[in-house]
Chain A
């Protein structure tokens, strides 16, 4: 399952990233590393992005990024 499909208020555990190169580095550095639990916190009133709780910080990510993160619910 992709992180972008995680329903609001639900949590999932990151299995892997399909991002490559620079983008992979950035996502990893933000704490999106395999084994990390992520929770979909809230959705922007304009429909996107979605804010996730990732290692103690709330980070808003666009669908373009969350499509590159695989999770298990």
Chain B
């Protein structure tokens, strides 16, 4: 049968010789073909379309403002801050409500285990380990996602995102990257794995890789809760309660801007070293604004994004909770494995403004970023169980009692922003690039960036304060 293939190749070879047209002649023909089709399209369109001049084109007016020299960037910042503020402020109440319900259920689960005379360790693993981690993830993540994703989809549907790419393109161009990277970064706010898949819209392989490697410098929904909680505990409380969500939102915006700056810097470094090359051609359509379909947005963002990301988080949270519980409860001479590991990491962690427990939490949080804070708390409390997430003041007390200052919070937020992407994102990178190489490269390069930035910032602050 291989003969068929050979025969095909032979046939193809002869076919490519059927014409004896020169290359320049071919180019002329090619130009003519495209031209002829366009002229026909124009002719038919002119004959069947009649257009009345309309007085105001609202899309044009909107673009005059949204992409204007002076208003373009401030509006983007306000939008970004507004989305974060809505997410933070709006998520508080449902979060507490969910936590209450889920932990009420935990009480019932405990009763059930006691009634069944189940062994203590089994109850510990399943309730304090698996269930509690899952409950934390759901109550902390679901409300912000249920708010963030629909707003984001709304902006996407209305057609605002291409304007963001248009506004920012020059920065990306100078970094040797593609303007559409701004779009893939926007997707990264929801989920970095989704952001990596979104890089499909970038045609050139070089610029696509840059966008993939740097995507996790945009904080995803799994890390937002960490950033938000720490920002509100350590920075938001300096002002009165009414403004704390504004301050927290402002801090998160500042972090995001830092993440974008680092993205541009790393993109530039990559395009000068590992991924050398000139920027490929760039075309971006600015489609007309469209009235978004609210109903469909709610359904789609809930099913496609919220449930998808949440389901994934819960799936990794359950086994992770189990393992961490075991780590925290099995020990030698009264010291848990978790403590041993934390002590081992501590000298290095201190250099970058963290402590052993925090660093260990980031490492154990590789499957999903949303369980980093729960693991941290488990490490601090020798009880080996996570606390209830609704009590922010309790969390603050635990952290402060373990030596946290605003600098620890800053270092933790910065490390969270810059460190290695989560397991799912790394797997997605492998899939999208077709090789393990780039997943490994991303892991090490982002972590190196996180360590370097943290080290410099922390040492500088130590020097001056």
Contacts and interface: CB of A to CB of B under 8 A. Distances in A.
B38 A64 contact: no
A23 B69 CA distance: 30
A46 B169 contact: yes
Interface string A4-30: 000000000000000000011110111
- Classify the interface of chain B: helix, strand, loop or mixed: helix
A48 B173 contact: yes
- How large, as a class, is the contact surface on chain A? 20 to 34
A12 B35 CA distance: 18
Interface string A24-48: 1110111101111000001111111
B282 interface: yes
B319 interface: no
B283 A64 contact: no
15 contacts: A24-B27, A28-B30, A30-B283, A43-B69, A45-B69, A46-B169, A49-B166, A49-B169, A58-B285, A58-B286, A60-B166, A60-B179, A60-B285, A61-B283, A62-B173
B19 interface: no
B284 A60 contact: yes
B283 A60 contact: yes
A69 to B, nearest CB: 12
Contacts of A61: 282-283
A64 B166 CA distance: 15
Contacts of A58: 285-287
A45 B173 contact: no
Contacts of B39: 35
Given A25-B30, A29-B34, A33-B34, A62 B169 contact: yes
B34 A49 contact: no
Interface of A: 23-26, 28-31, 33-36, 42-49, 51, 55, 57-62, 64-65
Contact of B68 (A33, A45, A47, A51): A45
B168 interface: yes
- How large, as a class, is the contact surface on chain B? 20 to 34
Nearest to A45: B72
Interface of B: 27, 30-31, 34-35, 38-39, 42, 63-64, 67-70, 72-73, 166-171, 173, 179, 279, 281-287
Contacts of B67: 42, 44-45, 51
Contacts of B168: 44, 46
A52 B69 CA distance: 17
A7 B332 CA distance: 76
A31 B37 CA distance: 10
A49 B173 CA distance: 9
B281 A62 contact: yes
Of A29, A31, A60, most buried by chain B (CB within 10 Å of CB) is: A60
Contacts of A26: 281, 283
A45 B67 CA distance: 6
Contacts of B173: 48-49, 62
Contacts of A65: 281-283
